[in-house]
Structure 1
Amino acid sequence: MIQETYDKARVVNFSDAVFSIVMTLLILEVGVPSIATLNKLSFGAVLANRIPDFIGLVVSFLVSALYWIGHIKLMKFVSVVTGKLLWINIFFLLTIVLLPFSTAMYVNGFDYPGPFMFYCINLAVIGAFNLIMTRYVYYSENKKTGFIRVLYRWYRARAINVLIIWVLAALCTLVFPMFARMIFVFLFVVQFLIDRRFKKKMTLVE
């Protein structure tokens, strides 16, 4: 039976479009003050009231950017887009599309654990689909496109890092809510350490 395949360029372009739309929509969750509000409050007070909005924007935008960069790097090693990979990518993008909604839930219910937990679960599920896609590409390509084992372990480590951090944040929400909201910082710290470790390994391979 001949396996149906799809145009890689169209899949990549569609994915890029989804990312660009999602990352743009995030700014819409930062409420623009009305003239009445500006007349009533000082400009500093208006900005202070929107601190949760800007936190949600920055965190979601940077996390989306990391996933987009990871998607670009991973698709470079794809020679053929199979039906299975296409659907994994579609479900991955579905979780990305949900991000503006979960971000809005988070910033509008900034002092409540439920909305933040939903936000963390959204990001954790994105990480899970990213991990699934990384694994599928590695084993389906079978090193044909240069996706060697050390690169796969590098990408897998980054995907697992994101998944673990957001699962921990969700679990900590009910017990240590303030710590849970700051735990995302470890995402970038751990990723920096992962990248430094695997860059050394790549140097030895070369």
Structure 2
Amino acid sequence: MALPFRREADETDRLLALSDGVIAIAITLLVLEITVPEIPPGSQISVLPNLIIERWHEFFGFVLSFLVIASYWVNHRRIFVHIERHDKGIVWLNHLFLLMVVLVPFASSVFATYPDQFGVMFLSGTLALTGFSLALLWSYASWKQLVEDGFGSRTVEIQAARFLTSPLVFVLSIVAASFDVGFGVLTWLLLIPLNAALQSRLVENLEAYDSDSEYEGTG
């Protein structure tokens, strides 16, 4: 019985295929939350541009959720690039991540319908939990030593920091929105410089790791 279990542990293709499919569906459903405004009876069609502009929060929620899910997909892909095998814990933590991903379109819809304090906090909370579930997946994989051999602890730490950046920004957004809704929305902009800085550090460490691997291979 050990051989079939070992084959199952080494197989990640189906897990990735399921994840890609779920994420693709969730990211597509986001656009359905953008509604076409109806022109009031007796009004001219010239009022349509203003009606669309009034729904700016729907477009903003769509773009934000799309970019965040896309970022989480990139991080998810990056995790499984370095995971060589998996166990039941990885499978169920991955399902937890997918559970949160499919909730994002609903959270985006709530924000589009109620672009107030509750809407900002609800969307931020959902995106934060999604990010935390992904960080938990990486932490579990590194703790269980399911990542490729020789993967440096420093790189593991930078990866963890990279995965925690976005959810922590959304937690900050929740706190900020409790005082001022506009400030809560503005905190989302922190995602750009923080993720860019950590991504640069991560690339440097991965390049150093690849160089060391090549050197050991030729030694």
Matched to 2:137, the amino acid is M
Q: Distance in 2 between matches of 1:182 and 1:28?
A: 25
Partner residue, 1:21: 25
Q: Give the % identical residues.
A: 24
Q: Does 1:60 align with 2:65?
A: yes
Matched to 2:186, the amino acid is M
Partner residue, 1:164: 168
Q: Does 1:86 align with 2:122?
A: no
Task: Decide whether the 8 Å contact of 2:127 with 2:167 is kept in 1.
Answer: yes
Matched to 1:160, the amino acid is L
Matched to 2:167, the amino acid is L
User: Whose radius of gyration is greater, 1 or 2?
Assistant: 2
Q: From 164, 172, 183, give the equivalent of 1:179.
A: 183
Could you tell which deviates more after superposition, 31-40 or 189-198?
Answer: 31-40
Task: Decide whether the 8 Å contact of 1:116 with 1:173 is kept in 2.
Answer: yes
Q: Distance in 2 between matches of 1:82 and 1:35?
A: 55
Residue 29 of structure 1 deviates from its aligned partner by 0.4
Q: Distance in 2 between matches of 1:52 and 1:93?
A: 25
Q: 2:144 aligns to what SS in structure 1?
A: helix
Q: Distance in 1 between matches of 2:179 and 2:25?
A: 35
Q: 1:47 aligns to what SS in structure 2?
A: helix
| CA offset digits 1:5-43 (Å, max 9, x no partner) | 453111100000011000000000000234667845523
Task: Decide whether the 8 Å contact of 2:165 with 2:194 is kept in 1.
Answer: yes
Q: 1:175 aligns to what SS in structure 2?
A: coil
Q: From 35, 38, 43, give the equivalent of 1:31.
A: 35
Partner residue, 2:49: 44
For structure 1, list consecutive stretches of 5 or more residues without a partner in the other structure.
none
Residue 164 of structure 1 deviates from its aligned partner by 1.2
| CA offset digits 1:137-180 (Å, max 9, x no partner) | 12223553554323312221111211210100011112021010
1:200 and 1:60, CA in 2 relative to 1: closer, same or farther beyond 3 A? same
Partner residue, 1:108: 113
Q: Distance in 2 between matches of 1:132 and 1:106?
A: 26
1:28 and 1:17, CA in 2 relative to 1: closer, same or farther beyond 3 A? same
1:66-81 aligned within 5 A? 66-81=71-86
Residue 195 of structure 1 deviates from its aligned partner by 1.8
For structure 2, list consecutive stretches of 5 or more residues without a partner in the other structure.
212-219
Q: Distance in 2 between matches of 1:36 and 1:145?
A: 64
Q: Distance in 2 between matches of 1:21 and 1:175?
A: 35
1:98-137 aligned within 5 A? 98-110=103-115, 112-137=116-141
Please tell me the root mean square deviation across aligned C-alpha atoms, in Å. 2.2
Q: Distance in 2 between matches of 1:91 and 1:143?
A: 20
Matched to 1:100, the amino acid is P
